[in-house]
Structure 1
Amino acid sequence: MQNKGLITVFAVLFGLVSIYQLSFTFVASKVESNAKDFARSKYSENEPHLREAAEARYLDSVGVDPVFLGIDYNTAKEKELNKGLDLKGGINVILEVSVKDILKGLANHTKDAAFNQALEQATELQKTSQDTYLESFFKAFEALPGENNLASPDIFFNKNLEDAINPTMTNAQVKPIIERKIDESITSAFEVLRKRIDKFGVTQPNIQRLGKSARILVELPGAKDVSRVRKLLQSTAQLEFWDVYKFDEMAGFLQAADSRAGEIETAKKDNVAVLDTVSTKADTTEVEEDDVSKLLGGQDVKDTIVEDNKANPILSRMVALGNQGGPVIATFRLKDTATINGYLRMPQIRSLLPTDMRYAKFVWGLPVAAPQLKGEETTGLYALKSNRDDVPPLGGSVVVDARQEYDQMSRVVVSMQMNGQGAKIWEQMTGDAYQNQSQIAIVLDDIVYSAPGVTSGPIAGGRSQISGDFTVNQGQDLANVLRAGKLPASAEIVQAEVVGPTLGHEAINSGMMSFGIALIVVLLWMIGYYGRAGVFADIALLVNLLFIFGILAGLGAVLTLPGIAGIVLTIGMSVDANVLIFERIKEELAKGKAQKDAIKDGFSNALSSILDANITTGLTGLILLVFGTGPIQGFATTLLIGIATALFTAIFVTRLFIEAYTHKGRPLACSTPITKNLFTNVNIEFLKKRKVAYILSSVLILISVISLFTKGLNQGVDFVGGRTYTVRFAKDVNSAKIQDELIATFGSAEAKTYGGDNQLKITTKYKVEETGTEVDEEIEHMLYNTLKTDLPADMTYEKFVGDEEGKSFGRMEYYKVSPTIADNIKRDSFWAVLGALLVMFLYILLRFRRWQFGLGAVVAIFHDVLIVLGVFSLTYSFMPFNMEIDQSFIAAILTVVGYSLNDTVIIFDRIREYFGEHPGWKLNRVIDVALNSTLGRTLNTSFTTLIVLLSMFLFGAESIRGLLFAIIVGIVVGTYSSLFIATPIMYDTVKRKRVEDLIDKKKEEEVVLEA
């Protein structure tokens, strides 16, 4: 081997760099382990929050202390090997910025009928279209009757866009300008979110815009407070300062509104139309304190809860009235706010407002727990002094700084500093409020955080304060979003994944155990089969693993469970390369060559097959990397890195050890006494058995197709949308019984045993079209209430959805996909599989220069994919593990495609080689001998790979069991198809062509040799 010294130096340096990169992970793990021990010594298991705080204090105190080779914890934490959510726990969401909101803003919230009709039609089109929202809007706008112009003064020719758009422009000229403005707005949203995330306090956060779409991926490994993250990400931070009506000014309206609502409900019951003129308008004069109590018939309303009734639908829901002179009109249960909003939006009820109050805007305050309602949350109703355009006197854009502080009573507050313009308006507003003895409501995203009065005259300097009974975290988050700025449009969570830290630790433990078992089995197998040569292969394999983990750490890549599966698969590939080399060395030795020449020729002859096999698998990995997301990209990343390092270690590192060992003439048999003559005298006539194989495969494919058309596949939420929850119980539960209860609650739901009998995977499509924090929390409450009887007696809702470390029961994992995202995932998956097949065919065509080879390979791939799909279709209803068709399954299918092609290419390589070596042989003999000569390698590689995968399947994490099962089935079927489908198909198409074109047998053989 030339340049042996250079390769040795490179391998050693690469190994040292890998060890150095991994040292950061070891340092971080050691310090964190010490922190956990410290926290355990201070607090018991029943004090998880105190333990967490103690850990944080410990890590802060030792953050800059050198631990190993001058590396401190803070540095190590930044450079450690990143673990994905499935290994560490945390939150992963995809947010979609509302292009609809941005378009409304660009059009200055126009009332133009054509514009707003196009928006609504675009929203409908998005339910079935793969276009972007903007493309749907343009299509809907152009489809409207008449000549509608985007550049009209009523739409985009306004003060926002007058520098870019003029009224003489055509729609075609306006479109690219709007596209650019939309892109700028989404980029702005990305920057706002990035600033918020940077201050959130988790290590190694990841935020990235997905291509040029309106979607933004946010990954927060280790984050536990789901509600806090949702609010942080979805809050538009629309800060507004409003003058507010007092209770005295609104009490009369409240009473009149209740009466009118009662009339409406009675009319509904009697099926009578309600006219706006049924009641007179409310008396607009201020009410005296004694009159306030009369609103509920003289009862003490402040501690009274009146049952809901049709005659008084508003007041019967009220918990308490507001105070004389205060800004709160009344207090209601949080769960009743949607109902009250419905009444207050009715034209019949809004018509009761006096003329000078007709633009009043009703909003709610922060929820608080009510002791008289056993802790149930209540909230206050406010009325803002709005106007025709709903524009506040002062907006949040004037805020230049915000920070969490403490007031004189040691309560958490948020202090704000305004710019010069804001300070001037604020001084005017506070002066008016002081003079009128009124309040100013500080409103964030239509929630009143506080409505203080002004007691000491106008406030100069632009400094103000928000109070609202905040926790420290709430105060920090509020200051964070105000400082980062507001989102240019609302952002909805369209895909979300929440993994509790307990599941993450369990995944690490099971993943490492299965990985260790697989590795030990493979190492022992190689020694048992190839003797001392197997030892050298094992050393190369361990070096390969060191390189893989070192590169992952150095690149800052994220290690996930599918990523571990990808590494395990590279073990099989690394073994495959060494198997090819050792089998070729054995063949050269059998020909009587000297050992040195046999080793040289063995490596040389195996190189072509090794490269072909790894290139095909690498192409599969590239397709996965391009089309996949999240964990699938992790799988593809480790697969691609593994291919590169496996090639280097198998071709160069193994050879360094072999040549060093045989340098002084020591023999190396590449076998043991038991395996020496294994597969050497095999003479199976494969082509004669092809008709039986065709019949068997046809039957299997027919059964698969029938099952796919009749029973179908168990499509996961990735492809159809919905919400999935992993729930763990304290005892074994009956999944069928719980499923019936869930169906009664949600209308449609599925509950399947997931792992042990005390753990279920629950899927529902209830309100799948709706997004938002409120909907998510509503469904989680419904889920908790349905499962409550099977959960531990002391498990509250907060404990059920909480994600503290060491949690034993409750909701352990959560996954949501909106239908729009599901359609995109399905589309990308289709193109990924189709693209893989096309790329493989083209590679085979270019590599072997005959379409018959490509046809045989592609037919075999279709055969393997159909049978794997058929197995999943036939068995998903009774298999004891998850067999949903999701992104992981697509990764498995493409892995099967790569593996099957890997096998086929090695056989085709040997056939091509024998064409040149034996020009006098018939075509069928060439093929049968080639198949027999590669049989040892085919079975050996399949066996070792299956051992590795079976270990992961039996002992690994539940979440990737379906992926592994698909690959296991695919490898078995792929090994069979390489021998009995791909090669026979190639033979039959070549044979028919030659028989048609040639009469002379000798000529036929000569033409075949040209292949």
Structure 2
Amino acid sequence: MRNKNLIIALTVIVTALCFFYISFTFVARGVEKDAVDAATTADGKVDIQKKQAYMDSIYNEPVYNFLGAKYTYKEVKSLELALGLDLQGGMHVVLEVSPVEILQAMAGSNAESADFKKAIELAKEKQRNSQGTFQQAFFDSYRSIAGANNLSKIFANATNKGKIDIRSTDKDVEKVINEEIDLSVERSFNILRNRIDKFGAIQPNIQRIRGTGRILVELPGVENPQRVRNLLQGTAKLEFMEVYQIYEIAEKTNRINDYLINLAEEKKTSSASDTSVAVTTTDNSSLLVTNSADKDAATVKADTSAAAKDTSKVSDFYRLIQAQGGLIYKTTDTSIINKILALDRVKSIIGNDLRFVWDRKANVVDGDVGYIELVPVKVGRDGKAALAGDVITNVGYGLSSDGKGYEVSMQMSPAGAKSWRKITKAASQEQNKRRIAIVLDNSVYSAPTVQVEIPNGSSSISGNFTLDESKDLANILKAGKLPAPVRIVEEVIVGPTLGQEAIMDGLVSMFAGIAIVILLLIMYYSKGGMVANIALVFNIIFTLGFLASLNSVLTLPGIAGIVLTIGMSVDANVLIMERIKEELANGKSLLTAIELGYDKAFSSIFDSNLTTILTGVILFFLGEGPVKGFATTLVLGVLCSFFTAVYITKLILLWMAKNKSDNAISFDTFISKNAFKNLNFDFISKRKIAYVFSSAILIIGLVLTIIQGGLNLGVDFKGGRSYIVEFKNPVVASDLRDGLNDYFEGNGTEVKTYGSDSKVKITTSYLVEDESADADKKVEAALVKGAENYAKNSEFKILSSSKVGATVADDIKNASWKAMLASLIGIFLYIFLRFKKWQLSLGGVVALFHDTLVVLAIFAILRVFNIDFEIDQVIVAALLTIIGFSINDTVVIFDRVREFDKESSKLDMASMLNASINSTLSRTIMTTVIVLVSVLILFIFGGETLRGFSFALLIGVVFGSYSTIFIAVPMLLDLRSKAEKEADDKILAGK
């Protein structure tokens, strides 16, 4: 064997490196176990804070000594094989940088024009059903309203001076806007990355999704999703604003009250939206006011104004408040006040110098009744605050001066300190000392009364913060202001309990698959099977080692990829063993048979592996999330299996055979000795029966899909929210769905048992078009109320949740179909270039289409029997894997067809095709059985998450082998040229 020493050296080096990188995972797990032990209390519970404190204490301490090189825990964590969110819990978020605010900022005062506003609204409508960018939808909408080359009239202003002028064409304007939005996304990405770096999550992942205005964030192990949402969505717009004294705005508030009263009197019987806000009544006998200096809650007498005395002259704007020392409302009344403040007439009364801003937190008194202050702040005529947050140069956090909580301290620049001194001096010298509100993202964090001027530019934000809240606020301010708001368009939260279940399911399926494959190989190929098993072990070590060295993340679909490559990698060994057995049967010596077996199998192995890799690469670049993780392990597994099967096994077999008899290595057992000998089945003559059978399945599936209203798309593809909920007692899915319908306002809701009769998956399209944080809370609250009402005496908990916006769902769906189409085109071109026959390419691709559609058809048929699998990203990964497996089998037989075509001119095409299928039938059956066993193990032990994935593979593997034999190869006969038909006629006549 040529290059024997090189292969040995390479194997030793790669194995050592793989063990080196894998070792970091074991060290990290050991440290985490020590942390758990140190934090376990006497009653057996783990104190999370103590656990985190332990890990923080050793974060920069050496914990691993490898040949004299010392690695800290931080370095160990960065080098370990990280687990995905589905295996350890955590949060996956896709954020979208809002282009609306960027367009409004670039338009300046023109953003108030009717045409601009109408174009924005039209663009929002178009975006829901379009894969283009929002700004492109806006450009098209504006042109439909104002005509071509009018964008410059909106965007030629001081903000864009030097970039856009009145002579700029639409194309010029579009280019500038696209560049500005792209820069805003890049700035947002950098700011968010800085925030996350300081958040404290271990091995966070943040990526910009190219071609979109979206940013992917993954935070393993986080247990407070709301804290993460606040961290990511806070724009960090900091403002210092003077607070009006109540008497200073009395004239405006009285006018608002009068307007609402008059409106109510004019339209007492009307249900118009303007009057709907002025009908609620509440008790006004005792109202809460917050002390303006220390914000302690206190109860004071009702307002003594004329309006308050005569209740018939009081609107909700007065009825709900105490206008003595502060504007204080019950938290339940804030939505009413917001509606009042949003009325056009009310906004005109308020004017440009006043803004109402809610306090960040409510005070809770009288049991659980909350009260919150509406703070009236001063703004300049340009809408700006007295002092902007960009003057802040340094931010810190720590205990507050009274020791009752935490606060955030800030230091200003010299120019900012000068302005701050002037502002605080004026506020402190007024007869009624004025308050200064510190406003962040349009919420008042604190509004202290200024007692004396502050000369050194120092200030602090207090507000009964927890340590985490003060830390996060400081980090947000340090990272800086986002150029535009971001919104969460996709969110997945996996609880640690579900993650632990996934780990066990994945490990059990992986080890069970390995054990059965090892046993099957030994039972069928004897010592040859043992050598194949050695290659299998090397393959697993190499795959895990490369994943670790590349800082890849191991997900549950990734484990599925490993299980699958275990089965598929055996294919190369089976091809080689069968070829060696053929040469031995032809009377060749053992050494010669081994050499010839590897030489003849090489082209088939190369072609079949390359087509699988092609599928995996397409899946990696066009897929997202779990699909990408699956593709990574699939490609790495196939590459490793090629090296181990083609080179390592050959090295071992030649070493075993050298200087020994031809019987030194056996490739048969009593089971396989006479199996598949002298086969001569006439598969080709049965092709038309197969055509009819396949057509029947596809037609039935198509009809049922139409009757069922289309494919059963998962949240990935249609948008919505999904929750996995575990109850203490068993639940009936259909009854729970009926119980939830009222709370979800009759919107589409599915409830399915998830692994056990006490665990369910709830999917709803309720508020699917609303991607705001408020909508998330509203949907979850509806879920909780519905579940509580259904299971009155049963505890339950939400193990995981996911949200996919409608626009994102369309993007994912289109990307998935593009991935499938791209893989089919790539395979067609490769087979054509490799075999030089378009008939083979077409036959192969038709068979692949067949396999994909059969899976979808059987899914539709199973829905008739209430067996329901959702079509999501993971199912698309399964379909692409089926394509890869099926083309493997097809390429092997095509390779044998090419071989027979070169060697024999005495066979007509039908006989040659039958001979090709029969001669490779042992390989086809063995590979199919081994892959089927691996996938069956995955189906049984892989857990509910992979149930649909593994079932799709079970169908695909069976029909993949079937389509190769009865569709792909026979089509070569049906598509033969006129000359080939005439040649066949002559051969048949000669017989």
Per the TM alignment, residue 926 of structure 1 is displaced from its structure 2 partner at its CA by: 1.2
Is 1:722 aligned to 2:707, yes or no? no
Pairing of 1:577-596 with structure 2 (within 5 A): 577-596=572-591
Residue 881 of structure 2 corresponds to which residue in structure 1?
Answer: 895
Separation in 1, partners of 2:912, 2:152: 72
CA shift digits 1:190-247 (9 cap, x unpaired): 1111110110100111111111321111111111110000111111111111111233
Distance 1:497 1:147, change over 3 A: closer
Q: What whole-Å deviation, never above 9, does each CA across 1:803-860 have from its counterpart, x for those lacking one?
A: xxxxxx4111111111111111111112111111111111111111111111211111
Determine the structure 2 residue equivalent to 1:784. Answer: 784
The CA deviation at 1:504 is 0.7
One-letter code of the match for 2:902?
G
Aligned to 2:303: 292
- Alpha carbons of 1:434 and 1:793: their partners in 2 closer, same or farther (altered >3 Å)? farther
CA offsets, 1:770-813, max 9 Å, x none? 12222211211111111114558696xxxxxxxxxxxxx41111
Whether contact under 8 Å (2:308, 2:319) holds in the other structure is no
Partner of 2:31: 31
1:63-96, CA deviations, whole angstroms, 9 ceiling, x for partnerless residues? 4143443444232112110111101111111111
Q: Are residues 1:427 and 2:438 paired?
A: no
Change (3 A) 1:377 1:568: farther
Go from structure 1 to structure 2 and tell me whether the alpha carbon gap of 1:72 and 1:703 turns closer, same or farther (over 3 Å shift): same
1:690 aligns with 2:687: yes
Is 1:875 aligned with 2:873?
A: no
What is aligned with 2:397? 404
1:537 match: 532
Counterpart AA for 2:162: D
SS in 1 for 2:155: coil
**Structure 2 partner of 1:162:** 161
Gaps of 5+ in 1: 280-288, 300-305, 796-808, 1007-1011
One-letter code of the match for 1:380?
E
Deviation at 1:516, TM superposition (A): 0.8
The superposition leaves residues 708-755 of structure 1 with CA deviations (integer Å, 9 ceiling, x where unpaired) of 222221111111111111111111111111111211111221111111
- Tell whether 2:386 aligns with 1:393: yes
Aligned alpha-carbon RMSD (Å): 2.6
Alignment partner of 2:737 out of 736, 739, 743:
739
Return the offset for 1:271.
2.5
CA contact (8 A) 1:82 1:558 kept: yes
The 8 Å contact of residues 730 and 792 in structure 1, kept in 2 or not, is answered as: no
Q: Distance in 2 between matches of 1:273 and 1:86?
A: 49
Aligned to 1:361: 355
Pair 275,816 (structure 1): closer, same or farther in 2 beyond 3 Å? closer
Q: Which moves more between the two structures, 756-765 or 912-921? A: 912-921
* 8 Å CA contact retained: 1:402, 1:416: yes
SS at match of 1:151: helix
What are the equivalent positions in structure 2 for 1:819-834 lying under 5 Å apart? 819-834=806-821
- The residue identity in structure 2 corresponding to 1:819 is A
| Structure 2 CA distance for partners of 1:999 and 1:693, relative to 1, 3 Å | closer
Tell me the secondary structure at the aligned position of residue 331 of structure 1: strand
Mark the CA change 1:907 to 1:376 in structure 2 (over 3 Å): closer, same or farther.
farther
Mean Cα deviation higher: 769-778 or 959-968? 769-778
For residues 114 and 911 of structure 2, the distance between their equivalents in structure 1, rounded to whole angstroms, comes to 77
Which among 374, 382, 390 is matched to residue 381 of structure 1? 374
For residues 57 and 264 of structure 1, what CA distance do their matches in structure 2 show?
60
Distance 2:272 2:700 in 1: 61
8 A Cα contact 2:303 2:323, kept in partner: no
Partner AA of 1:812 in structure 2 = L
Q: 2:674 aligns with which of 673, 677, 700?
A: 677
Q: Is 1:87 aligned to residue 72 of structure 2?
A: no
Counterpart position of 2:140? 139
Aligned residue runs from structure 1 range 755-904, under 5 A: 755-790=755-790, 809-876=796-863, 878=865, 883-904=869-890
Give 1:837's aligned amino acid: L
| CA-to-aligned-CA distance 1:246-268 (integer Å, 9 cap, x gap) | 33445676566456545545655
Q: Quick one: distance in 1 between partners of 2:29 and 2:990?
A: 66
Matched with 2:700 is 703
Contact 2:681 2:918 in 1 (8 A): yes
Q: How far does residue 290 in structure 1 lie from its aligned partner after superposition?
A: 7.2
**Displacement after TM superposition at 1:627 (Å):** 0.8
Residues 908 and 984, structure 2, Cα contact 8 Å, conserved in 1: no
The CA distance in 2 between the partners of 1:552 and 1:650, in whole Å, is: 20
Structure 2: distance between partners of 1:573 and 1:272: 67
Contact 1:94 1:218 in 2 (8 A): yes
Task: Report if aligned partners of 1:924, 1:987 keep a CA contact under 8 Å in 2.
Answer: yes
Letter in 2 for 1:710: I
Match of 2:464, SS? coil
Between the two proteins, the alignment pairs up a number of residues equal to 955
* TM-score, normalised by the number of residues in structure 2: 0.92
CA drift of 1:120 comes to: 2.6
Give the aligned residue type for 2:823: A
Which AA in structure 2 matches 1:76? V
Cα distance change of structure 1 residues 387 and 71 upon mapping to structure 2, 3 Å threshold: closer
Q: Distance in 2 between matches of 1:147 and 1:983?
A: 56
Distance 1:249 1:923, change over 3 A: same
Which range moves more in the overlay, 784-793 or 765-774? 784-793
2:923 corresponds, among 928, 937, 941, to 937
In structure 2, relative to structure 1, the CA distance for the partners of 1:274 and 1:79 (3 Å cut) is: closer
CA distance in 1, matches of 2:471, 2:273: 49
Most deviating of 422-431 and 19-28: 422-431
Contact in 1 for aligned 2:906/2:987 (Cα 8 Å): no
Q: Percent of aligned positions with the same letter in both sequences? A: 41
Asked if 1 retains the 8 angstrom alpha-carbon contact of 2:352 and 2:383, the reply is no
Query: Is 1:955 aligned to 2:946, yes or no?
Result: no
Counterpart CA distance in 2 for 1:230 and 1:859 is: 47
The Cα shift of 1:963 comes to 1.0
Q: Does 1:214 align with 2:207?
A: no
Q: Which residue of 2 aligns with 1:62?
A: 58
Q: 1:118–1:140: 8 Å Cα contact kept in structure 2? A: yes
- 1:909 and 2:920 are equivalent in the alignment: no
CA distance in 1, matches of 2:836, 2:266: 81
Q: Return 5+ residue gaps in structure 2 as ranges.
A: 279-299
Instruction: Check whether the contact 2:397–2:407 (CA below 8 A) recurs between aligned residues.
Output: yes
Amino acid at match of 1:292: D
Question: What secondary structure sits across from 2:210 in the alignment?
Answer: coil
The whole-number CA distance in structure 2 between the counterparts of 1:291 and 1:94 is: 48
Is 1:896–1:967's contact at 8 Å kept on the other side of the alignment? yes
The corresponding residue for 1:657 is 652
Q: Which amino acid aligns with 1:56?
A: Q
The aligned counterpart of 2:482 is 487
Look up the equivalent residue of 2:758 and give its one-letter code: N
Per-residue CA deviation, residues 249-293 of structure 1 (Å, 9 max, x unaligned), is: 4567656645654554565541399999xx9xxxxxxxxx97725
Call closer, same or farther: CA 1:793–1:314 in 2, change over 3 Å: farther
Aligned to 1:646: 641
Do the aligned partners of 1:730 and 1:791 also contact (CA within 8 Å) in 2? Answer: no
Change (3 A) 1:383 1:297: closer
Q: Cα 1:406–1:37, aligned 2, differ >3 Å: closer, same or farther?
A: same
Instruction: Show the 5 A alignment for 1:917-928.
Output: 917-928=903-914
8 Å Cα contact 2:909/2:984 also seen in 1: no
The separation in 1 between residues aligned to 2:100 and 2:499, in whole angstroms, is 38
State the one-letter code of the partner of 1:495: E
Assess if the C-alpha contact under 8 Å between 2:576 and 2:597 holds in 1: yes
Instruction: Give me the whole-angstrom Cα distance separating, in 2, the residues matched to 1:378 and 1:527.
Output: 74
Secondary structure of the structure 1 residue equivalent to 2:329: strand
Alignment pair present for 1:468 and 2:479:
no
